A and B are shown apart, each in its own frame.
Chain A
Amino acid sequence: MTRRTIAELLLVVLPTVALAIAMPFLYSNELLLFNFVMFLALSQGLNVLYGFTGFLPFGYVGFFGVGAYGFALSVMHLNAPPLLALGLAGTASLLLALLLSPLLRLSGAYFAIASLAAAQAVYEVIANPALEDITKGPYGVSLAGVYAPTASYAAAVAILACVQLAMVWLRNSRFGLSLQAIREDPVSAAMAGVSVVRGRSIAWLISALVAGLVGGVFAWHVSVFYPEAAFDVGTSIFAIVFTLFGGAGTTLGPLLGVLLLYGVYNLIGITVPQYFQLIYGTLIVLLVLFLPNGVVSLLTRRGIRVP
């Protein structure tokens, strides 16, 4: 490990995880804390794909929803213990990612739109009344038998820690460097001997796995949910906006994005959603126009390296 890797581990990963562990003792709204951890992990997972390959998955929530339903179906039909169900949730998400990997042939807006359509298609299948016997269709699932808020929160923090470690590895490894080369110029990267398809596919699978695990832990934590909640496109968009707001491609960026924006959301969004929506929309427009590389670009622009 280089000194830079150790510094990133100590300065970014350790404080976040420590804070996530300490917060339940200082603050009692556990669902809110869980949502923070969930969005931190989701944003980092999206960051793996968008920050390192430039593919913007608008349908990222598809993996999240499949994870949630993977967990729910394992518990309902297989009577699986929660941790095994979590593993199956991740597996389900990986399988969906393999199925959808041809989407990586598309570029730019085509990929973003197609991934959104794919997530919607999965939602239409799972929420279809014709499949009520298997998925409970549009009527939602209830997993009261495995409800365990503290254990599921701990699992979410563990997932967050793993994603952060993966980010640090990507930022400091040969593989991460090759991904960034692919993002900047796929043709030149391929000519330099980088396997473009392999690199993109691995980033895609990591990203999907993270969303599937987070979806599974979401199902575990809330234990009663409807398909609309598991496949809410808003979840993708939150993750995208948080990542972009902070700065894609950095470990610190998505953390800043979630803490600032999701913090603001919880201060004013709950009481007057329309006004929050208005402020949020304005903020996004201004962000893209004036800070397209995120808050961290205020530092990187001055030559300061941001972890």
Chain B
Amino acid sequence: MLHAVLAGLVFGCYFTLVGLGLNLVFGVMRIVNLAHGDFLMLGAFSAFWLFTLLGLHPLVSAPIVLVAFALLGFPLYYVVVPRLMRAKNSEMLSIILFFGLQQMIQALATIFFGSSERSIPGRILGIGPFRLFGEALPKAWVFSAAVSLTAVLMVYVYLYRTRLGMLTRAVMVSREEAVATGIDVHRVCAFAFAIGLALAGLAGVFAPFMLGSITPAIGGDIDIAAFAVIVVGTLGNPLGTVLGGLVYGVSLMLMQTYLSSWANLLPNLLLIAVLLLRPTGLLGRSVRRA
């Protein structure tokens, strides 16, 4: 029992990272990046190739992937999002648009990487178990959780301790009023979008250790888990994601320990239950439109 809870907390930290970028993008732009899981997949493949071809340690490739994905985010934002925001129901259309992008990414990844399963040996993140309160956990999990918590802290510092972060929060609260006060909304959103992609890439670097072997098709399942995490922890509130990740991680581990054949049901049921009982998420304030 203690083991399941501890493992769940550590696992949940990683799932916080998986959902964080998705939530930031939704919170700021009110668009759903359905291709989030596929950017994560690309991050995983980057880590794999950096390790296989150059022998780079994942902790070294993590910052490289982070920066590369952020740089990728800016042009992608300016090509796609401003035009999308002009449409009448951009929230719905974004789901379809990013689904198209997901198909493109998956197709290109299959063409270039092939569809075979790839993995990075877990031992390079340390051999043997890590002892926490007398319970043994894989060292790779603890590393991934530590990196995830660092990333959450960095996002917190960005949002609450920098000027651009303050502007980002202003756009989150009300886009119209932000425009009216003269905030360059597109610049703010481009940064948020780039950070969202960077976080997906970073989560991807550790995916081979946390989620098992990787193929170009893993994106879809990750999306569902990421949605469950961010909906539980309030859609649009990046820091609520931590709570969502922990709830998700602990309940997943408990399900796998005691009811393993039904464990795959969990993210779906959690998502529906939270949406119906508390549509604003666990931390949400009760604001509802018609």
Do B92 and A281 have beta carbons less than 8 Å apart? Answer: no
Do B100 and A117 have beta carbons less than 8 Å apart? Answer: no
B141 on interface, CB distance cutoff 8 Å: no
A49 on interface, CB distance cutoff 8 Å: no
Quick one: CB contact mask for B133-160 with A, threshold 8 Å, 1 for yes? 0000000000000000000000000000
A274 on interface, CB distance cutoff 8 Å: yes
Contact of B95 among A58, A129, A287 (CB under 8 A): A58
Among the 9-residue stretches B39-47, B183-191, B266-274, the one with 4 or more Cβ atoms under 8 Å from chain A is B266-274
Q: How many Å lie between the Cα of A277 and that of B111 in the bound state?
A: 11
Quick one: CB contact mask for A60-77 with B, threshold 8 Å, 1 for yes? 000000000000000000
CB of B181, distance to nearest CB on chain A (Å)? 26
Given A116-B224, A187-B290, A241-B96, the answer on whether A109 and B103 have CB atoms closer than 8 Å is no
Q: How many Å lie between the Cα of A124 and that of B266 in the bound state?
A: 10
Residues of B in contact with A, size category: 35 or more
Among the 9-residue stretches B6-14, B79-87, B166-174, B202-210, the one with 4 or more Cβ atoms under 8 Å from chain A is B79-87
Do B279 and A277 have beta carbons less than 8 Å apart? Answer: no
Nearest chain A residue, comparing its CB with the CB of B221: A120
| A/B interface sample: 5 pairs, CB < 8 A | A56-B95, A109-B95, A124-B268, A277-B103, A281-B107
7 new A-B contacts, CB < 8 A, other than A113-B231, A117-B267, A117-B272, are A54-B92, A56-B92, A56-B95, A105-B276, A117-B268, A125-B265, A284-B103
Q: A-contacting residues of B (Cβ < 8 Å)?
A: 26, 32, 80, 83-84, 87-89, 91-97, 99-108, 110-111, 220, 224, 227-228, 231, 235, 261-262, 264-265, 267-269, 271-272, 275-276, 279, 289-290
Q: B-contacting residues of A (Cβ < 8 Å)?
A: 54, 56, 58, 102-103, 105-110, 112-114, 116-118, 120-121, 124-125, 128-130, 186-187, 233, 237, 240-241, 244, 274-275, 277-278, 280-285, 287-289, 292
